[in-house]
Structure 1
Amino acid sequence: MASSTATPTRPTSAPAVIPVHRTRLFALPEMRWAAAALALFLVGLTAQASGAPSLLWWGLYLACYVTGGWEPGLAGLQALREKTLDVDLLMVVAAIGAASIGQVMDGGLLIVIFATSGALEALATARTEDSVRGLLDLTPDTATRLAPDGGEDTVAATELEVGDVILVRPGDRIAADGSVVGGASEVDQATITGEPLPVDKALGDEVYAGTLNGTGSLRVRVDRRAEDSVVARIAGLVEEASRTKARTQLFIEKVEQRYSLGMVAATLAVFIVPLLFGDALRDSLLRAMTFMIVASPCAVVLATMPPLLAAIANAGRHGVLVKSAVVMEQLGSTTRVAFDKTGTLTRGTPELADISPLPGAPFTEEQILRLAAAVEHPSEHPLAAAIVRAARQRGFELPAADKFTSQPGRGVSALVDGHFIQVGSPTRLLESVTTTAHHAAAAAAVEAMQARGRTAVVVLCERDPIAVLGITDQIRAEAAATIAAVTELTGAAPVLLTGDNLATATQLARQVGITDVRAGLLPEDKVTAVRDLESGGGRVTVVGDGINDAPALAAAHVGIAMGGAGSDLALQTADAVVIRDDLTTIPAVIALSRRARRVVVANLVIAATFITVLVIWDLVGHLPLPLGVAGHEGSTVIVGLNGLRLLRVAAWNRARGASAQR
């Protein structure tokens, strides 16, 4: 346990803070160009609506075309050099075509939509890269290397070699992966394993770079170089998953190549064929431009985007930040959900769950708790806080503790009401018990407590064990209901992926209704587990909160981070964030996504019907341009309004009800 005079460890309920240099919103050129295009479009629209001279608002719209369209246009031309035709270039050409026949406002709106979409994608990419770089800053820049003669030398952490011995003082972050060769302490390694409580470390125990030392000093032999550390591997896994994760696209983007090529070829044919049969140039050009307008995918784009964006806005109002329309579409195809344990299904805050007096103990449960809390009161260890908090909740007045001492990695001791009381690690404190019967009884109680998924703490009076305390992590009240809802919604039982030990994980899983438990996982093991779950064609959504969850969040079909206590890397890597830490919003947002997908399909049918009718009319007969524009715009308005229905509160309530009743 920690001494009151020592540097306190980080509270387990808070995430490890990564020093991140965030890319500012308008630091990216894409964001600046998109903002300029939007501003010019809005000013132009205002000028047009107020009856200003047409030259003014035409000029503003054309300036919008240039600021918002040059980048996607350039990207489209570069794609042409690689013999591909993407929808960005098609949108620019369609916008120019709209302007050429007087529909300059429609073209400007299209430009703004695509410029804004590209800017947001660039910002998301930059923020993720910022967080990955910040992760590496968890490891200190320097370390205190011990020479064979006992001297100390401050060196860069990157210069440490395998076999070097470093000194880790209280409150310092460990500079390298290694093994303890001297000293004892407790180490908060939640960033790596996700364990909610600091772990006692003594001779021979493994420690990880970037984890936080507690109140004792450690001498650590370096086992891995900086570039091979677990923290470095986490950063590498996130980057690799971000690069190799298949680029998931919206429906229209999946067919953009064929649609783009077909539309360009058809437009050229509509223009050239009549010329060959003697039509006037102006008539052929007008027919071709009309065809381009009615066949352009504006209605299809708006058939897809408004429902998804409306669902995003609705989810945001209810505490779920979904980062893009692509993510909202993906959520609905989830076939299985994998949950992290600490900070996700639990709150990451320890609480006293059991008091088990040993046979022959001279005190009642209440007296044992009162004595243990009095000894732990000066301590700053998270387990000590749980014991003291339990005593306070029961209204106990704590007696004074005299001659308080703390031994890092072992426990605390003090004189309370004339009794010498010790509280701490079973492994360390039971070594001093000389009575065989007492030792056996205490060891059996500790084993039973650990088998129930508890962290065991022993209490000794006059060096004889009198009780074993069981401490556990607080399960979120809504965890069991969420697991049941997700199971019904996806048709498959969720999975628990945790770095904690199997006994603790199994105990929690039993309480919330999970049967598939995968425990003791390092970050790369979680990625392997996700890929295994997806190997049969499944689409896995991973829910987590810690740095150790980030690689799995990046590798999964969809990653969802818990926002209340989530690490910066997890929040940036995830595709969606549960802002209010309400687990019940997870099945609700999946159900909302499924409804949005149904609306998208309905809209695509409407848009395709309008486009087909107008195109056939233009090719077979003679579609007047105003009527073609009216039909095109009418279909756009219809699908837009249909999608915006998902903005209503009733849509969220229906999704929440559907997830609860399935």
Structure 2
Amino acid sequence: MTSTLTRPDWAGGPVRDGAVPRRRTRILALPEVRWAAIALVLFLAALPLYLVGAPTWLWAPLFAAVYVTGGWEPGWSGLQALKDKTLDVDLLMVVAAAGAAAIGQVLDGALLIVIFATSGALEAIATARTADSVRGLLNLAPATATRLNEDDTEESVATGQLQVGDTILVRPGERIGADGRVLEGASDVDQATITGEPLPVAKGEQDEVFAGTLNGTGSLRVAVERDPSESVIARIVTMVEEASETKAPTQLFIEKVEQRYSLGMVTATVALFVVPLLFGADVQSTLLRAMTFMIVASPCAVVLATMPPLLSAMANAGRHGVLVKSAVTMEGLGQVDAVALDKTGTLTEGTPRLTTVLPLNASKLSEQELLRLAAAAEHPSEHPLARAVVEAARARDLTIPVALDFDSAPGTGVTASVDGARVAVGSPARLLDGEDNPAAELTVGLEEDGHTAVLVTLDGTPVGVLGVADRLRNEAASSTAALCELTGTSPVLLTGDNARAAERLAAEVGITDVRAGLLPQEKVSAVKELERAGRKVLVVGDGVNDAPALAAAHTGIAMGRAGSDLALETADAVVVRDELATIHTVVRLSRRARRLVVQNLVIAGVFITGLVVWDLAGTLPLPIGVAGHEGSTIVVALNGLRLLADGAWRRARTEGGR
């Protein structure tokens, strides 16, 4: 049962109606989900009546309705496939269910129908959610932009009408309408959606800006350098779709297996019925043997041999804060042998925090007083650095005085009157004007350690430097070491942040392969490079800029607490509680599930082979055939359910080795 992500008509270009809000597909609006739900309800209603021996007229119509509601769609799909001269497992399952009903095994057939309908519903939900999240990404770009004409008059136009060479005006607080380069103005631009950088970036003349990024407090004139359909945001959408399509070869392989199994089973069943009749065998006994073969050769045991371990592992992971979206993902997690980690929001908390307070002359101005003055000046500002300073002052229970005459200069900082003195807080490069003094030395030291340095001046005289950094997660180093032990290679750090900050953090957690300053397409290239080397790559990230890499990887995991919608939907799994340590645990749990799958397949194969040989070589009584078939199903199901226990998670968390 396969489905594909339909490319929406708006995904091919930038033209769209900005007034249309992002909409999520309602789950019950999907026909596959509705029919599967109805089939399940009918099955649960009929089951107790059947088991207690109620009259046939009570439960038979309910089971018949299960066959119709859950089986008509895969049955119709299988019939449609016959037009293309293919025979898939959709039709095989329906035929097996019908065969079971034909010889009185109505319950077996209904259970097959319910399992198959449910898997189709889950696949439809995953496809719809992916389409929703790609649509949400395009909504990051504004619907309109202010274009400046030759006479400097302003004109509001749809972003899809912008052309290379146009000049647009971006006012404070607006999203930039196209990829381009700044002609005039200065501002701080929040481009976390593109690069993942936790702090806004100062932009001035000749600096590059991207569509969908958020302008700060300054006004910018931007020359459009890319057609909107070629913007970074649009290319992210394309890459997500292309990466999803690259998984098709695996699906094609599965379909080939289905085709061969289906043809073999149907051919054997027909032969088992027709050949004896040619030699004068009794029709009724021959039909009974053929239908018995259909039952004992049914893949029920094989299906349950595979699913219970994986579903149990999924349920266990879910209880511990890891949402694994499908059994295919749970199985794939156990195959990874290389890990690529994002920095901001993955190894770090994603929120800038004040780490250092360095007064130039502690005898004249203490740390507390320096922080109090800086917090007062920053208090009216909405800049992330300002919030970090204010929060640090509050955490130390400092009284923040009221600031007067507040002023903010994009790319420079803020100034305000505090307790009768003029306090400035901002960029050392702008405030120092090339002066050679102790403040410059402190600034260089902080920046070499990967911090963002903030200078504080009092009436024009530097009085101290503050250091702000994105704080490393407590479990980052231990989790990185565990992933290294698990895969046999050190993880790779892929980040859009600057190289200095990335290398400092990598050194703290023990990562040696650092790739910094990457745009989304460059992260995808890094992942593909690893895959060309024969690795099955696990990518862990949280931002929109990570989504293409998450989709391109063998398996993608998103950090859930602050993760973007697109990352959460594109990823194969989500760490809901933001606990980095759960990643290596769920990989180990997946490997245990895969080992149980192999055990169960052996058990199921032995039972099915034995029963089929008995039916072909002798006379297999139907009750024994059903008992053997159902017995193997129960054995493999119970074996797979072992992973539901909390002990399985604890062992996966603490065990070492690969």
TM bucket by the smaller chain? over 0.9
Distance in 1 of aligned mates of 2:632 and 2:362? 83
The amino acid across from 2:596 in the alignment is V
SS across alignment from 1:496: strand
Change (3 A) 1:90 1:245: same
1:394 maps to a residue whose letter is R
| Residue in structure 2 matching 1:608, options 602, 605, 616 | 605
Deviation of the 1:58 alpha carbon = 1.7
**AA in 2 matched with 1:490:** T
Aligned to 2:204: 202
User: What is the CA-CA distance between 1:52 and the residue it aligns to?
Assistant: 3.1
Match of 1:454 in 2: 451
SS of the aligned residue for 2:436 comes to helix
Instruction: After superposing the two structures, state which structure 1 stretch, 622-631 or 239-248, moved more.
Output: 239-248
Find out whether 1:579 has 2:576 as its counterpart: yes
Q: In structure 2, what is the equivalent of residue 13 of structure 1?
A: none
Shift of 1:248: 4.2
Instruction: Tell me the residue number matched to 2:56.
Output: 54
Counterpart for residue 3 of structure 2: none
Tell me what 1:467 maps to: 464
**TM norm structure 1:** 0.93
- 1:33 CA drift (Å): 1.2
SS of structure 1 residue aligned to 2:295: helix
How many Å apart are 1:581 and its aligned residue?
Answer: 0.7
Tell me the distance in 2 between the aligned counterparts of 1:242 and 1:590.
22
Which residue of the partner structure matches residue 436 of structure 2? 437
Alignment of 1:326-365 (within 5 A): 326-358=328-360, 363-365=365-367
Paired residue secondary structure (2:311) = helix
Superposition deviation, residue 392 in structure 1: 2.6
In the TM superposition, residue 400 of structure 1 has moved relative to its aligned partner by 3.8
Query: Alignment partner of 2:109: what SS?
Result: helix
CA shift digits 1:316-357 (9 cap, x unpaired): 111111111101000011101111111111111111122344
After TM superposition, give the deviation of residue 126 of structure 1 in Å: 1.1
Structure 1 residue 363: Cα displacement: 3.4
Q: Which runs of 5+ in 1 are unaligned?
A: 1-17
Match of 1:597 among 568, 591, 594: 594
- Determine if the alignment matches structure 1 residue 284 to structure 2 residue 283: no
Tell me if the contact between 1:248 and 1:326 (Cα under 8 Å) persists in the aligned partners: no
Q: State yes or no: 1:524 paired with 2:521.
A: yes
1:654 and 2:651 matched? yes
Instruction: Check conservation: 1:361, 1:467, Cα contact below 8 A.
Output: no
Structure 2 counterpart of 1:343, one-letter code: G
Distance in 2 of aligned mates of 1:239 and 1:453: 35
Cα deviation, 1:119-168, whole Å, max 9, x if unaligned, reads 11011101101111121111111111122322111111111111211111
The one-letter code of the counterpart of 2:530 is: L
| Contact 1:458/1:465, CA 8 A, preserved across alignment | yes
Deviation at 1:247, TM superposition (A): 5.4
Residues 252 and 301, structure 1, Cα contact 8 Å, conserved in 2: no
Q: More displaced, 388-397 or 473-482?
A: 388-397
Q: TM-score under structure 2 normalisation?
A: 0.93
SS in 2 for 1:321: strand
How far the C-alpha of 1:218 sits from its partner, in A, is 1.6
After TM superposition, the structure 1 = structure 2 runs for residues 177-576 of structure 1, keeping only pairs within 5 Å, are: 177-246=179-248, 248=250, 255-358=257-360, 363-431=365-433, 436-438=435-437, 441-576=438-573
Aligned-partner residue type, residue 578 of structure 1: V
Task: Please state how far the C-alpha of 1:537 moved relative to its aligned partner.
Answer: 1.6
Who is 1:103 aligned against? 105
* Worse-matched range after superposition: 210-219 or 631-640: 210-219
Query: Quick one: structure 1 residues 563 and 316, their matched pair in 2 at CA, closer, same or farther if it must change by over 3 Å?
Result: same
Tell me, in whole angstroms, the C-alpha distance in 2 between the residues paired with 1:468 and 1:456. 7
Identity of aligned residues (%): 67
Give the Å deviation of 1:408: 2.1
Instruction: Tell me how far apart the structure 2 counterparts of residues 150 and 192 of structure 1 sit (CA, whole Å).
Output: 30
Counterpart secondary structure, 1:140: coil
* Residue of structure 2 aligned with 1:145, choices 144, 147, 165: 147
Deviation at 1:407, TM superposition (A): 1.5
SS of the counterpart of 1:306?
A: helix
SS at the partner of 1:26?
helix
**Any conservation in 2 of the 1:405–1:413 contact (CA below 8 Å)?**
yes
Residue 19 to residue 495, structure 1, CA distance change in 2 (3 Å): farther
Q: Matches of 1:182 and 1:236 in 2, distance apart?
A: 31
* Distance of 1:312 and 1:114 partners within structure 2: 19
Moved more, 556-565 or 393-402: 393-402
Deviation at 1:559, TM superposition (A): 0.8
1:403 and 1:269 map into 2 onto residues whose CA distance is 93
CA distance in 1 between counterparts of 2:542 and 2:256 reads 32
Match of residue 10 from structure 1: none
- Cα deviation for residue 444 of structure 1 reads 4.2
Of stretches 607-616 and 143-152 in structure 1, the one that deviates more from structure 2 is 143-152
Question: How many Å separate the matches in 2 of 1:307 and 1:649?
Answer: 14
| Matches of 1:399 and 1:124, distance apart in 2 | 52
CA offsets, 1:422-455, max 9 Å, x none? 1112332233x6xx433xx544443332221111
Paired letter, 1:110: L
Following the alignment from structure 1 to structure 2, what is the Cα–Cα distance between the partners of residues 110 and 296?
Answer: 9
CA contact (8 A) 1:252 1:300 kept: no
- Long gaps (5+) in structure 2: 1-19
Please tell me the residue identity of whatever aligns with 1:332: G
* Letter aligned with residue 476 of structure 2: A
Shift of 1:597: 0.6
Between the aligned partners of 1:250 and 1:242, the Cα distance in structure 2 is 14
- C-alpha separation in 1, matches of 2:326 and 2:362: 63
Distance, in Å, in 2 between the alignment partners of 1:19 and 1:336 is 39
Give the structure, 1 or 2, with the largest relative contact order (CA under 8 Å, sep 6 or more). 1
